[in-house]
A and B are shown apart, each in its own frame.
Chain A
Amino acid sequence: MTEMLEMVADTPEAAGQPKTIEKVCIVVSKGSLEGIYPGLIMANGARMEGIEADVFFTFFGLDAIRKDRNASIKVATVGNPGMHMPTLLGAIPGMSAIATKMMKRQMEKLDIPPIPEFVELISDSGAGLYACKATVDMFGLTKDSFVPQVDEIITVGEFYEKAAGGQIIFT
């Protein structure tokens, strides 16, 4: 599920804003392969177009920037109607690993980098990477739990401050 919350006035021109998007803030809230990639692709795509981008990781989205987990993100094979297979089949041990392996092979062909490299690429492109303070506290993590590219652990309020003047995209 991807929805977009527009933070602009009724008509951009009336508010004196340019017609093009100048800045996006992307919230990644899910920890599955198909939950993380869209956010990362959108952030990278924004930077490629010269749009300023910040990525905010919250709840299981934090797995994307956790040192110990971001290399082993899996496709959700249970509770995912998009897989077009019975849920009980998806629950068989190893099913998620197989689906992930197949998807990763396809991604390699398309020149889509693995998550750790992708996070590095996005950070190198000048986008900000932030972890949600509430979740970090809840899971008992520290800044050391994350890859070095993560800029800061911030609160929701600080996130909104950073998002000022841009569009917020929740994935």
Chain B
Amino acid sequence: MRDAYLANGAAPSIRTLGKESGVSIKELYELFPKGPAKLAAKVGGIPKPRGCI
């Protein structure tokens, strides 16, 4: 997450997260029903994803 933020200047979207983490989007939401991308950004200490997707 941090690497992507530092490289792109924004936290990765849930779509990118699903593609690049090796964990499917379905599993991500099952593990973190309150928003996996938001939580991952919080843990990573970066601003939450700003995109609409």
Is A161 positioned at the interface, with any CB of B under 8 Å from its CB?
no
A48 to B29, CA, bound (A): 9
Question: When A and B form their complex, what is the total count of cross-chain residue pairs whose Cβ atoms lie within 8 Å?
Answer: 46
A111 to B17, CA, bound (A): 12
Q: Which residues in B have their C-beta under 8 angstroms from that of A112?
A: 53
Least distance between B7 CB and chain A CB atoms (Å): 15
Q: Which residues in A have their C-beta under 8 angstroms from that of B33?
A: 50, 126
Whether B52 lies near A50 (C-beta < 8 A) is: no
Whether B24 lies near A48 (C-beta < 8 A) is: no
Q: Which of B13, B24, B29, B49 contacts A47, CB < 8 Å? A: B29
Q: Which residues in A have their C-beta under 8 angstroms from that of B51?
A: 110-111
Q: Mark B14-31, 1 if CB is under 8 A from A, else 0.
A: 111010000011100110
Q: Name A's B-contacting residues (CB within 8 A).
A: 41, 44-45, 47-50, 110-113, 121, 124-126
Whether A113 lies near B53 (C-beta < 8 A) is: yes
Whether A49 lies near B30 (C-beta < 8 A) is: no
A113 to B18, CA, bound (A): 13
Q: In this complex, what residue of B is CB-closest to A125?
A: B29
Q: Which residues in A have their C-beta under 8 angstroms from that of B18?
A: 121, 124
Q: Mark B36-53, 1 if CB is under 8 A from A, else 0.
A: 011000000000010111
Known: A48-B49, A111-B51. A125 touches B14 (CB 8 A): yes
Known: A41-B53, A111-B15, A111-B51. A48 touches B35 (CB 8 A): yes
Whether A121 lies near B15 (C-beta < 8 A) is: yes
Q: Which residues in A have their C-beta under 8 angstroms from that of B29?
A: 47, 124-126
